[in-house]
Amino acid sequence: MKLLNVFLATSALTLFASQANAVDLEFYFPVAVGGAAADTIQSLTEEYMANNEGVKIDAIYTGSYADTTTKAITAVRGGNAPQLIISLSTDMYTFIDEDMIVAWDNYLTEDEQKNWIGGFYPAFMANSQTEGKTWGIPFQRSTPVLYWNKEAFKAAGLDPEKGPANWAEMVEMGKKLTVKDASGNVTQWGVHIPSSGFPSWLWTGIVAGNGGLLADDTGKNVNFNSDAAVGALEALVSLSSKDGVMAPGILDWGGTPKAFFEGQAAMIWTTTGNLTNVRTNAPFDFGVGFLPGLKQNGAPTGGGNFYLLKGSTDEELQAAADFVKWATAPEQAAKWTIATGYVAPRPDVWETETMKDYVKGFPQALVARDQLDYAVAELSTFEGPKVTQLLNSALESAITGQKSPKEALDGAQAEADAILKAYH
Amino acid sequence: MNSRNWIYAWLMLLPAFVFLIAFTHLPAVTTLIDSFFTTAKGRRAAAFTGLGNYQKMLGDPIFVKAMVNSAIYAAITIPASIALSLAMALLVHRSFRGVSLMRMAFFTPTVLPLIAVANIWLFFYAPGFGLIDQIRLYFGLPSANYVGQPDTALYAVAAVTIWKEAGFFMIFFLAALQTIPQSLREAAAIEGCGRWTFFRRVTLPLIMPTTLFVSVNAVINAFRLVDHVFVMTKGGPDSATMLLLYYIFETGFRFWDTAYAAALTVVLIAILSVVGIGQFFLADRRVHYK
Amino acid sequence: MIGETTFDRVLIRGGGALLALIWIAPLAYAVWAAFHPPAFEARFELMAPLTLDNFASAWSQAPFARYFLNTILLVTMILSAQLVLCTLAAFAFARLEFPGKTFLFTLILMQLLVMPDILLVENYKTMRALGLVDTIIAIGLPYFASGFAIFLLRQTFMTIPKELDEAARVEGCSLLGLLWRVYVPLGKPAMLAFGLVSVSHHWNNFLWPLIITNSVETRPLTVGLSIFATTDSGTEWAVINAATLMTSAPLLLGFLLFQRQFVQSFMRAGIK
């Protein structure tokens, strides 16, 4: 007995010693939804440090996603990588290709691999696993939804409580919602699907709704010019060119909520990350619904994952992994979701009392969760930024009428194949 | 000059050259070397490819577009900003009621960072609720989407550059105009010399050094000022506002193809050399033989 | 004025006023958006309520005072270093004969073209090797030796009559004394002109500071401001403009208060 006591005491001592042996962690995080999110991350890390002596986390706000990726890769090439970053889930293949991240599997017990990893929504894990390993942990994830202006619906003689159930309905409603002034200029458009910067994101949803997928889970094959994809782009282009329910040209992403608030667009497509923004600033009642699909429901996921970066000791990476396990646990994740409007990445988060209370007062938040059942991975491949960019260019050229949808997508497919050939 | 002078000269040059070589020439040489290799990825080492990156350019439609766009952008912004800044300087050079307000108006671009101002311009250009569209609607004109259409986006971006540059260059012209002796004006007035003639025969030649100084700046900025592209268009739509430096940034820091970015940088340097060096020697000669 | 009719005057003033209106529009809009609730970002109603909330929210979202201090430190440091290093070098090029002069001057001219802004990756590696990542000094280092300043000052120094040199030498002035007593005072106009270029450039510089800084203690204003420009949710013009005004206000006020002195001293300087 005495011996056991001594044994316990020593092991406790060693445990204590290893904890006192301070671990300093650096953690880069982007914020894409305004200032409150940064404060929440800071308070989360502070809370964690207060409860875990010996772990010091330096949470560094690094701007947008693109800036964060830039900083992380530059830091890795410069030889002073942080242990932990949050970056786009679609950067997974880029990071693997750069050989700068480690799989989470090494820092998880078998039980954690099964129950913790298995506890995330599969739609989010689609952008987080490849080659049989888990590389990203979903955290600030989102999905786009349709917002509609109930007052505009009423004015157009539509049922304000019912958004469009499918694409055809959206076009039909859009025609009723498009209002012109005396001189024939449109003062209110029916639909507004933003297309600046990264049109491929929302378009992925249209393709999914048309029964198509843009890439497989190896990150080496894309399918940009399938019938489903061409049909999806034709439908999008038609909104302006044929149906006359959407303003022509590239529509700015950042100005989309404003166009909605100003009554210049009766239905908008944008991220759930905008829920809080719309709720605070819309001077009218609004509804939130699934993205209307051409054939079925479909939507992309988006947003950021946690990644573990190479270049640190196992002890440091283990400490970083432990922090992430804590941060994604239900209570913390609920706090995060409520502060930012991101979709809670695990079903058990929605079971917490905090979340239940939140949803009671704000049922629109549930739409995003329920849409996850139909969600597909965001386009992600090796040479991801380049492949996505060429697709974006192709979409832009079709939207602005420079090329036909088929022509644009055939070109994008050929270019993407040429780039991805190196990985086969 | 005695022979010991060259030691002094070298000592005086030393501090500047330490920085110059460490942060410009050495990195430039590594860039040139890098442009002959493929990009090293974590899983693949860099391999010698000779002129491979340069051959790639010829078949790269975005590169071609970026070259054309940069040429148009330079051809618009350089003369427009120089002409406008000179006109502004001539305007506020004299004193009349409200001149200080006007001067301040022209000076605003110098104090407002481009990265912040780009958002304001984005609001001006926004279709529907944007300022320009509100004005258009008032006059019964249909809505226009300036940054969202490939045929207008580059001009919309160039307009912001001209706004920025002209306000800045105005200050230099203003200073130069002040050095023109009042007696010359009086003499011209007595001789009944017209406004335009005076400007062409007296003002323009006298401010030539300033014009050269300003145009050197304008040329460099035409290839360097891309901050607002980050906010306004990111090179789109369909590469309509893709400029060479932005493409270099995108290739190097978004696509992580540093070798190709290095080759693009070499091309940019070559272009600047051709345009720039000519100007410098012109400026140099003028001062030498004045 | 010469040959000016009333018609001319009206035409010129009218055109000038229109030009001034366009030029001040962004500032005017910034003021409008910053002092009104977000609902009035795109509605120009005379009776719209005024508010300071946007400033409060911008102020709470980022430590602008610190960013401001960082920028002031950065700009001052760069300009001082540039003036010292480049005056020395320009003097050598303008007045001394030494082997390799043409070659070295060509190297200087090259830096005019190969702007440090382009060499981000390589320069980051260097800073890393020096252990200077995330320091204000690292933002400035690549710009300390400015080819532009050397070129400009050399041009100015070459216009200074050599008789002045000899007079000073006869009086027993050393080379550095000559530089300090004759060339620096006469070169002041050019230094002022360059100073304006330099301050304006580094006040607004964005890309390199973005890459090399990691923390609030080192970030300059532009990087701080970009926080507001890059959200996935809608662009918040009200808050962005409040932030823009806060950070530009000191410069704007300074110009308003000292505009006469500023423009005059600059005018007196002239550029040759």
Q: How many whole angstroms separate alpha carbon B141 and alpha carbon A185? A: 8
The DSSP call for residue C183 is I
Answer yes or no: is pLDDT of C212 > 90: no
Q: How many whole angstroms separate alpha carbon C114 and alpha carbon B271? A: 11
**Domains within chain A, CATH numbers bracketed:** 17-142+303-364 (3.40.190.10), 144-300+383-423 (3.40.190.10)
> Among A9-18, B109-118, C229-238, which range has the highest average pLDDT?
B109-118
Q: What is the CATH number of the domain that holds B273?
A: 1.10.3720.10
Mutate to test the interface with A, among B256, B257, B258, B264 (most CBs of A within 10 A): B256
Q: Which residue in C has a C-alpha nearest to residue A260's C-alpha? A: C234
For residue A288, the cross-strand partners are A147
Predicted local confidence at residue A33, as pLDDT: 59
Q: What is the pTM of this model?
A: 0.85
Of B127, B137, B238, nearest to A247 by CB-CB distance is B127
Predicted local confidence at residue B42, as pLDDT: 65
SS3 B44: strand
* Helices C147-158 and C184-204, axial angle in degrees (round to 10): 160
C34 touches chain B (CB under 8 A): no
Answer yes or no: is pLDDT of C251 > 90: no
Q: How many domains would you assign to chain B?
A: 1
B167 touches chain C (CB under 8 A): yes
B4 found inside a domain: no
**How many beta-carbon pairs below 8 A join chains A and C?**
87
> What is the torsional sign of CA B204, B207, B213, B217?
negative
Q: Do residues A263 and A286 make contact, with C-beta atoms less than 8 angstroms apart?
A: no
Answer yes or no: is pLDDT of A1 > 50: no
Phi, psi of A189 (to 5 degrees): -90, 150
Within a 13 Å sphere around the CA of C251, how many CA atoms are in the beta-carbon half? 23
Mutate to test the interface with A, among B62, B64, B65, B129 (most CBs of A within 10 A): B129
B21 found inside a domain: no
Using pLDDT thresholds of 50, 70 and 90, give the confidence band for residue A6. very low
Using pLDDT thresholds of 50, 70 and 90, give the confidence band for residue A296. very high
Q: Do residues A107 and A308 make contact, with C-beta atoms less than 8 angstroms apart?
A: yes
Contacts of C60 in chain A (CB under 8 A): 35
pLDDT in tens, B157-189: 999 999 999 988 888 888 788 777 778 878 887
pLDDT in tens, A338-388: 887 788 899 999 999 999 999 898 888 889 899 999 999 999 999 988 999
Of A74, A276, A283, nearest to C211 by CB-CB distance is A74
B96 found inside a domain: yes
B42 found inside a domain: no
**Domains within chain C, CATH numbers bracketed:** 65-269 (1.10.3720.10)
B69 found inside a domain: yes
Phi, psi of A147 (to 5 degrees): -110, 140
The DSSP call for residue C179 is I
B243 found inside a domain: yes
Q: Which domain holds residue B94?
A: 50-288
Using pLDDT thresholds of 50, 70 and 90, give the confidence band for residue A19. very low
The answer, yes or no, to whether ipTM is higher than 0.90 is: no
The H-assigned helical ranges of chain B are 5-20, 26-34, 52-58, 61-93, 99-111, 114-125, 131-138, 150-178, 182-190, 195-198, 204-206, 208-224, 227-232, 244-253, 258-288
Using pLDDT thresholds of 50, 70 and 90, give the confidence band for residue C139. very high
Distance from CA of B73 to the nearest CA of C (A): 18
Answer yes or no: is pLDDT of A16 > 50: no
Predicted local confidence at residue A18, as pLDDT: 44
Predicted local confidence at residue C195, as pLDDT: 83
Of C3, C120, C270, nearest to B194 by CB-CB distance is C3
B104 found inside a domain: yes
Predicted local confidence at residue C269, as pLDDT: 52
B89 found inside a domain: yes
Q: Which whole number is the average pLDDT over A7-36?
A: 62
SS3 B57: helix
SS3 B52: helix
Give the per-residue SS3 of chain A.
CHHHHHHHHHHHHHHHHHHHCCEEEEEEECCCCCHHHHHHHHHHHHHHHHHCCCEEEEEEECCCHHHHHHHHHHHHHHCCCCCEEEEEHHHHHHHHHCCCEECHHHHCCHHHHHHHHHHCCHHHHCCCEECCEECCEEEEEECEEEEEEHHHHHHCCCCCCCCCCEHHHHHHHHHHHCEECCCCCEEEEEEECCCCCCHHHHHHHHHHHCCCCCECCCCCCECCCCHHHHHHHHHHHHHHHCCCCCCCCCCCCCCHHHHHHCCCEEEEEEEHHHHHHHHHHCCCCEEEECCCECCCCCEECEEEEEEEECCCCHHHHHHHHHHHHHHCCHHHHHHHHHHHCCECCCHHHHCCHHHHHHHHHCCCHHHHHHHHHHEECCCCCCCHHHHHHHHHHHHHHHHCCCCCHHHHHHHHHHHHHHHHHHHC
- How many Å separate Cα C121 from the centre of its chain? 24
